[in-house]
Structure 1
């Protein structure tokens, strides 16, 4: 990738041309915000999480998100069947392994879901480190120190774990103050955003859905993952120019996701690219 910013600008055009339908099997705390983010960015959303319909819908939608924010035991088979159906149908799907490094039951579920080969994995640093540890590939014994959905690890510390998880996925991102995205071609770091993103519930979960939307629009899922993070970061930068508190920021962020243009990406994005 010689010019990631141009690739991201092109991906934004592709996203809006495709207007993909994202089937989000996601958590009830952030479902509404996630749907609004997808709509604002140029995609659309469906939330189907019953065992009779969710796997079927994975073959109908353009992309799938599986988010483990509020998993219930009765939904375990729904998650697994949906991931299996998406893989069988060739539908790109994204795993958001919330708290996988800190809570054993959902960690084991996230580990099992990896076997269905997601197009991308998106989490905070602690989740990426913790999930990699659960694969058994981590001979250094990394241990994320996250608490719930929060991360106390620096995303830069998760780079090795993200690269390790490429054994299961095309792209892996550790998001935070600076987002780090690993894929087979190298490592991208996306700078920018606003601290107010940490004060609005659902910015991380909706980012996973945005990754899924871009994976439906762009064949290169590494580029798609970088594009989703960049779109969100540039929108947050724009929102922070007028918003001063979490409530106004949430509204301004949705507006900015809708308003961001390819020219905004070219002018505002700060992406560093390290080829492999």
Structure 2
């Protein structure tokens, strides 16, 4: 991809960041207990509005008014799965874009069954680490639970296969991220080695992907690369003064909030 091609991609990403901050879209997150607080803070930092509405009695109804839905299976249980399925169905019926984070979906039979049922409800974007994406495509992953033990480059073909078969956008995150819709693809460099040492950074990213999907319903591919670009730039900035994972966590939220609208063109991490 030429520099001009990358610049052409960076420009709509920049406009989406401005749109998130202007519209403050409502992002409904059915996410895990570990990540709720940090994910909500990340959504707020980027300029959107988080709603951690997950109860079966109200979550499907809420999906009809949300700008986007994010489903994360990190702390999965039978009641939560039922709510996730009903809420994804409601989002699909309402035309609400939704993002799937298949956390450790390959670890147990319960999770494998859950992810297949969720995939059938047609997420607009799937965001996972390399091990999760390889396993999702039916390949052999070195991952154990939530850990990514495979390189992103090893997951690129798996991501393309899933994107084509499921008519979705797949974002693989790691040292250098990879986003594809099966026809288009781009890599995103940046971030910091401290990011995987902070619990819920990936979950927070999925929630922020939802914020961008809410303002880019016609092109979830650009939504995904805009969200990942914001994380890459903010992570790089936060790491400069961070003394370790603890100080990085709050500096990262500050860096997200401080992103200038034009940073996605001035400091574009697209490769």
Q: Check whether the contact 2:132–2:148 (CA below 8 A) recurs between aligned residues.
A: yes
Query: Could you say which residue in structure 2 is the equivalent of 1:5?
Result: 10
2:146 corresponds to? 149
Shift of 1:101: 2.4
Please, which of 75, 80, 83 is the counterpart of residue 75 of structure 1?
80
1:44 pairs with 2:44: no
Alignment of structure 1 residues 68-217 onto 2, 5 Å? 68-133=73-138, 142-166=139-163, 167-217=165-215
* Normalised TM-score (structure 2): 0.94
What's 1:137 paired with?
none
Alignment match, 2:58: 53
DSSP 3-state at the match of 1:66 = strand
Partners of 1:101 and 1:126 within 8 A in 2: no
Shift of 1:100: 1.1
* Structure 1 vs Structure 2 CA RMSD: 1.2
Q: Distance in 1 between matches of 2:191 and 2:112?
A: 29
Is the 1:102–1:144 contact (alpha carbons within 8 Å) kept by the matching residues of 2? no
**What is the CA–CA distance in structure 2 between the aligned matches of 1:83 and 1:211, rounded to whole Å?**
16
Q: Could you report, residue by residue, the CA deviation over 1:34-90 in whole angstroms, capped at 9, with x for unpaired residues?
A: 000000001011111111101111111110000000001122211110110000000
Q: Contact conserved, 1:21 with 1:43, CA < 8 A, in 2?
A: yes
State the partner residue of 1:223: 222
Local SS of the residue matching 2:56: coil
Q: In the alignment, does 2:23 pair up with 1:18?
A: yes
Asked if the contact 1:181/1:187 (under 8 Å) is kept, the reply is yes
SS at match of 2:171: strand
Deviating 4+ runs (over 6 angstroms): none
CA contact (8 A) 1:95 1:121 kept: yes
Q: Is the counterpart of residue 236 in structure 1 residue 235 in structure 2?
A: yes
Distance 2:236 2:161 in 1: 31
Are 1:111 and 1:131, in contact at CA under 8 Å, matched by a contact in 2? no
**Contact 2:128 2:171 (C-alpha < 8 Å) held by counterparts:** yes
- In structure 2, how many angstroms separate the alpha carbons of the residues matched to 1:130 and 1:101? 6
